[in-house]
Amino acid sequence: MASDFDATRKLFHLPDGLIYLDGNSLGPLPLAAVDKVAGMMRDEWGDLLIKGWNAAGWMDFKGLGNRVGRLIGAEPDHVILGDTLSIKVYQALAAGLEMVPERRVILSDTGNFPSDLYMAQGLTGLLKQGYTLKTVAPEDVAGAIDETVAVLMLTQVDYRTGRLHDMASLTRAAHANGAITVWDLAHSAGAIPVDLSGCNADFAVGCTYKYLNGGPGSPAFIYVAPRHADVAKPALSGWLGHEAPFDFDLDYRAHAGIARMRVGTPPVIALKSLEAALDIWDLVEMAEVRARSIELTSLFVDRVEAACPDLTLASPRDPLARGSQVSFAFEHGYAAMQALIARGVIGDFRAPDVMRFGFTPLYTTEKDVLDAVAILAEIMDNRLWDNPEYQTKSAVT
């Protein structure tokens, strides 16, 4: 398949005069989502009411799981959507710990997204069985995998720097030491090709509102390897993961396969919006998205380094060692990002000093990159960041 990125760009609503380099945080609106969601609300929720569950197939969203699954190298019928990523982290970690009952260490890294670490802390605090969450520097993970580790829980692409973990080799090392892996693909799905099946991954989780463009709060996904799908124990044993939800049994029995990772009622409206996004993803190949992403990120790095000597590259220089984002460190990064946003270039900021830019080939062009660098250079050359109106921090950075 030849991915046509000029064509996919036309399928998004991109406000005039805006250069959007934050699709790694929240993807833009697929134009078709508006009618899809409105139609669902009017014709299905509106007219069918409760009949919609059967007549409009609201409960049957395995197809969407498989469409996400194609992008992350999952076997068919081993990805399910629902809840938020934090919840899916909890489920995967709990199931993983249960599979290695004699061990007490969760190994992660200090580059992980805090919510993943918080969920681990909450779970181990509840279990009260002497679990410890051990975090090491990202570059020390391989050396820290030993026979005390129950679960290796990592986010593949570092949310701040874009640094990429080698999923295949770390999974191999974990397995050689008898540990289970939980991979968070929040900044991988739709950003880089992932081969869960080929890497022999155990569990994986991720969200759909970043690179996948499902919309704010669109449901998360969880993958369970086929060899574990019928044995993984659901810690969040909600009725929709039951073998027969509509039998209304008083006792929980897990459903066969990935469906046991469902918890409660699916977010049908959000799934409709995600469906519109996946219609676009169906038009492209991840290998081609990756090739284009490397062109865009490399161009950005080269041009920023040439034009803005005060910014320090905080992402790996080797494009194969980073995801689809580029970060630059700058002491006044927050204010500089505000100055950029005021001039129509949207990136974001991560404490303490990281200016972060996401590159999303479905709708980001080379012209976007060049125009963004020109505006950034103007801000840096003229110290335009040094303006009190850019110093006040909002709740969401």
Ligand X SMILES: *Cc1c(COP(=O)(O)O)cnc(C)c1O
Footprint of ligand X (CB under 6 A): 84-86, 113, 115-116, 155, 159, 184, 186-187, 207, 220
- The two three-digit tokens of residue 20, written as one number: 């959007």
As a whole number of angstroms, the distance between CA 353 and CA 349 comes to 7
Task: Output 76 or 216, the one with its CB closest to ligand X.
Answer: 216
List of residues 6+ apart from 194 with CB closer than 8 A: 71, 72, 73, 156, 167, 185, 188, 204, 286
As a whole number of angstroms, the distance between CA 183 and CA 72 comes to 11
Q: Which of 5, 12, 20, 209 is catalytic?
A: 209
What is the pairing mode between strands 325-329 and 354-358?
antiparallel
Question: Residue 320: exposed, middle, or buried by beta-carbon count in 10 A (0-12, 13-18, 19+)?
Answer: exposed
As a whole number of angstroms, the distance between CA 77 and CA 64 comes to 10
Largest distance between two CA atoms of the chain: 69
Minimum separation from the CB atom of position 84 to ligand X (A): 3
Would you call 393 a catalytic residue per the annotation? no
Task: Output 85 or 173, the one with its CB closest to ligand X.
Answer: 85
Minimum separation from the CB atom of position 305 to ligand X (A): 26
Would you call 109 a catalytic residue per the annotation? no
Minimum separation from the CB atom of position 22 to ligand X (A): 12
Task: Output 117 or 224, the one with its CB closest to ligand X.
Answer: 117
* Overall residue count recorded for the chain in this entry: 397
List of residues 6+ apart from 139 with CB closer than 8 A: none
Minimum separation from the CB atom of position 254 to ligand X (A): 23
Four-point Cα dihedral 256, 267, 70, 348, nearest 10: -140
Would you call 47 a catalytic residue per the annotation? no
Minimum separation from the CB atom of position 70 to ligand X (A): 21
Q: Which of 260, 292, 356, 363 is catalytic?
A: 356
Would you call 113 a catalytic residue per the annotation? yes
Task: Output 106 or 384, the one with its CB closest to ligand X.
Answer: 106
> Do 62 and 240 form a contact (C-beta atoms < 8 A)?
no
Task: Output 91 or 338, the one with its CB closest to ligand X.
Answer: 91
Q: Which of 77, 104, 113, 371 is catalytic?
A: 113
> Do 68 and 219 form a contact (C-beta atoms < 8 A)?
no
Q: Which of 184, 202, 348, 368 is catalytic?
A: 184
Task: Output 155 or 273, the one with its CB closest to ligand X.
Answer: 155
Would you call 116 a catalytic residue per the annotation? no
Q: Which of 88, 103, 210, 262 is catalytic?
A: 210
Minimum separation from the CB atom of position 74 to ligand X (A): 18
Q: Which residues are tagged catalytic?
A: 113, 184, 209-210, 356
